[in-house]
Chains A and B, each alone.
Chain A
Amino acid sequence: MIKVIQVSKKIKNRQILHDINFSIEKSCILGILGENGAGKTTLLRILSGLVSPDAGEILIDGGHIRYDNHKLRSQIGYMPEDGGLYKRLSVLDNLKFSLGFYNHLSNPGIQIDNYLSQFKLKDRQNEKIGKLSGGMRRKVLFLKSILHHPALLLLDEPFNGMDVESKQKAMDVIREIKNNRGAVCISSHSTGELENICDAYLFINQGRVRGKGSIQELKSKLAISKHMSLASIYLKIMGG
């Protein structure tokens, strides 16, 4: 579904990504792991079409993100690491504003209502974003990225600040997208959050791919015990 071919990006004379290659199939959840500043956010921004790579290509369902940007973006959901919500607008107005640009939805109001109830935000729907806690804002931002039923969901550190129940709920929604033949990319610097949800992993360090594959593939490649956790694999790959 997504092919990333030889993607490189330089920001302010610093090479952020070097020759990144990987692909994600439909019904797959890919975890992108790496330390802070590894290039995960830049990679997600490039996948979302927000930023153009200096070299390489991104193909989504055969379409080129650089040329079919506008069309492809309506099929992508993106949750940035921070910001993304208008503090002076209410929860409902933020969601309605974002959803207003996706014309293919029937009964958007009912869908917003359902998700708000699921994430226990219904009684706070008229509150301004500026008055909500960090965790609540993350939930609203998560809802904003999934409301239009994207075929590709890009999540940048999605679980930061979410309570256990909301995190579980978010994981259920992510699995639902996967079951509907969608693809999901989740970036995180924490292995614990991704261990139970991802089908495959991409390890990035200093802008280079250090390892990729499912947990079983990685374990056999690294010749390590099958009982070892994702954190141990991470440390082994990153040289920790």
Chain B
Amino acid sequence: MSLCNIWHIARKELTEHKFRFLLILISIPAISGIFLIPHLCGNTEFMKELVQQLNWLYPDHAAEIRRKFILVDLQLPLYVLVPAFASPFFGILESIIGEKDARTLEGLFFLPVSRWDILFGKVLPSMGGAIFVSWFSYTYHILFFGIFIDEDLAFHLLTIEWMLILAFLIPVIVYMIGIMAILISIIVNKIQTAVNLSTVILAPIFFMLAGIGLGYIEFGVYNLATGGIMILLAGIIITFILRCQFSIERLIFKLND
């Protein structure tokens, strides 16, 4: 495995699909930002109403600001995690199945590079993009909540849990999603079939995220770290399985019947 070769392949991916990467980097945070527009358009009233309702539901709970914190905790995971999870999957699918369609994989596999180089060269740009998107969304929301709703909310989000999510959990999950996308690309030859199959696979992840967003799944340093390590181990095992399957014969010629 050579870092130089991985970077060379990743740079080719970035040049070849620059518009797709730009679209992901610009559109996904922008789309998640649309959800914030109601707050900008006087919807802080809505927040206040919700806070009052929460106060009514839990009358003996703490002060109003704590209710705001709860609302932020409910919303932020969806804004930060969904774009990070959604962006690499389809990028990698298109990158590999697109090469199958254009019959360029044969030339790529012929180059004097190892399969590891090709594998990581394909995953790296989408992974980098997804991590950037999640960090961007996080910063953007901290600034938004801090400026437009309550400055205490911004400090409320600067927690060790969020740092763990951004620095460890998201890269690990994004990597896992990336290699799952490569596995699907090996099995499937048509982009539409791959997208349909991916939707079925992604659906449980979205439900999990919705669960986090609705507050059913509790964060916590221990839970996050354990979850992250388990995903990382699973990712390593799947990578080794994938490495055996990631051959030109499997990808194009399907010779192993």
Chain A residues packing against B (C-beta within 8 Å): 9-13, 45, 48-52, 70-71, 73-74, 76, 78, 80, 82-89, 93, 97-98, 100-102, 144
Among A12, A71, A83, A98, residue most surrounded by chain B Cβ atoms (within 10 Å): A83
A sample of 8 inter-chain contacts (CB < 8 A) reads: A71-B112, A73-B111, A83-B106, A86-B104, A88-B16, A89-B12, A101-B113, A144-B107
Residues of A within 8 A of B15 (CB): 89, 93
Chain A residues within an 8 Å CB radius of B248: 50-51
Are B255 and A12 interface neighbours, CB within 8 A? yes
Q: Which residue of chain A has its CB nearest to the CB of B101?
A: A83
Contact B111 A101 (CB under 8 A): yes
- In the complex, A144→B110 CA distance in Å? 12
Tell me, yes or no, whether B32 is within 8 Å of chain A by CB: no
Smallest Cβ-Cβ distance to A42: which chain B residue: B253
For residue A12, which residues in chain B have a CB less than 8 angstroms away from its CB? 254-255, 257
Closest to A48 in B: B110
Cβ contacts under 8 Å, A93 to chain B: 12, 15
Which chain B residue lies CB-closest to A77?
B110
B23 to chain A, nearest CB (A): 14
Contact between chains at A83 and B114 (CB < 8 Å): no
Which chain A residues border B103 with CB–CB below 8 Å? 80, 82-84
Q: Are B106 and A102 in contact (CB under 8 A)?
A: no
How many pairs, one residue from A and one from B, have CB atoms within 8 Å of each other in the complex?
71
In the complex, whether B17 has a CB less than 8 A from a CB of chain A is yes
Closest chain A residue to B254, Cβ basis = A12
Interchain CB contact under 8 A, B12 and A86:
yes
A225 to B16, CA, bound (A): 55
**B249 to chain A: closest residue by CB:** A51
List 15 other contacts, CB 8 Å, given A84-B107, A97-B12, A101-B113: A11-B253, A45-B253, A73-B112, A78-B110, A80-B103, A80-B107, A83-B104, A84-B104, A86-B16, A86-B102, A86-B104, A89-B16, A93-B12, A101-B111, A102-B112
Prevailing SS type, chain B contact patch: helix
Alpha-carbon gap, A11 to B109, bound state (A): 19
B48 touches A (CB below 8 Å)? no
B13 CB to nearest chain A CB (Å) = 10
Number of B residues whose C-beta is below 8 Å from A? 23
What is the CB-to-nearest-CB distance from B34 to chain A, in angstroms, rounded to a whole number? 30
Q: Which residues of B contact A (CB under 8 A)?
A: 5, 8, 12, 15-17, 102-104, 106-107, 109-114, 248-249, 253-255, 257
Q: A12-B255, A84-B103 are in contact. Are A50 and B12 (CB under 8 A)?
A: no
Q: Bound complex: CA of A48 vs CA of B109, how far in Å?
A: 10
Alpha-carbon distance A86/B114, docked complex (angstroms): 20
Chain B: minimal CB distance from A11 (Å): 5
Q: Which residues of A contact B254 (CB under 8 A)?
A: 12
Chain B CB within 10 Å, residue with most, of A73, A82, A86: A86
Contacts of B109 in A (CB 8 A): 50
Closest 8 CB pairs between A and B? A83-B103, A74-B112, A84-B107, A73-B112, A101-B111, A88-B16, A100-B8, A97-B12
Q: How many Å from the CB of B131 to the closest CB on chain A?
A: 24
User: B257 and A83: CB pair below 8 A?
Assistant: no
Interchain CA distance A218-B249 in the complex, whole Å: 35
Tell whether, in the assembled complex, residue A101 and residue B255 are in contact, meaning their CB atoms are under 8 Å apart. Answer: no
Closest Cβ of chain B: how far from A44's Cβ, in Å? 11
Closest residue of chain A to B103 (Cβ to Cβ) is A83
The distance in angstroms between the C-alpha atoms of A82 and B103, with both chains bound, is 7
Residue of chain B at shortest CB distance from A76: B110
**Pair B17/A88 contact, Cβ less than 8 Å:** yes
- A98 CB contact (under 8 Å) in B5, B102, B107, B253: B107
Alpha-carbon distance A13/B8, docked complex (angstroms): 38
Q: How far is the CA of A174 from the CA of B114 in the complex (A)?
A: 28
Closest chain-B Cβ to A152's Cβ sits at a distance in Å of: 12
For residue A86, which residues in chain B have a CB less than 8 angstroms away from its CB?
Answer: 12, 16, 102, 104
Report B-chain residues with C-beta under 8 Å of the C-beta of A80. 103, 106-107
* Bound complex: CA A10 to CA B253 (Å): 11
Residues of A within 8 A of B106 (CB): 45, 50, 80, 83-84
Distance from B192 Cβ to chain A, minimum over Cβ atoms (Å) = 20
In the complex with contacts A12-B257, A89-B12, A97-B8, A83-B102 CB distance below 8 A: yes
**Residues on the B chain within 8 Å of A76, using CB:** 110
Residue pair B16, A73 in contact (C-beta under 8 Å): no
Residues of B within 8 A of A13 (CB): 257
**Roughly how many angstroms separate A82 CA and B109 CA in the complex, as a whole number?**
15
Q: Within 8 Å CB of B107, what residues of A?
A: 78, 80, 83-85, 98, 144
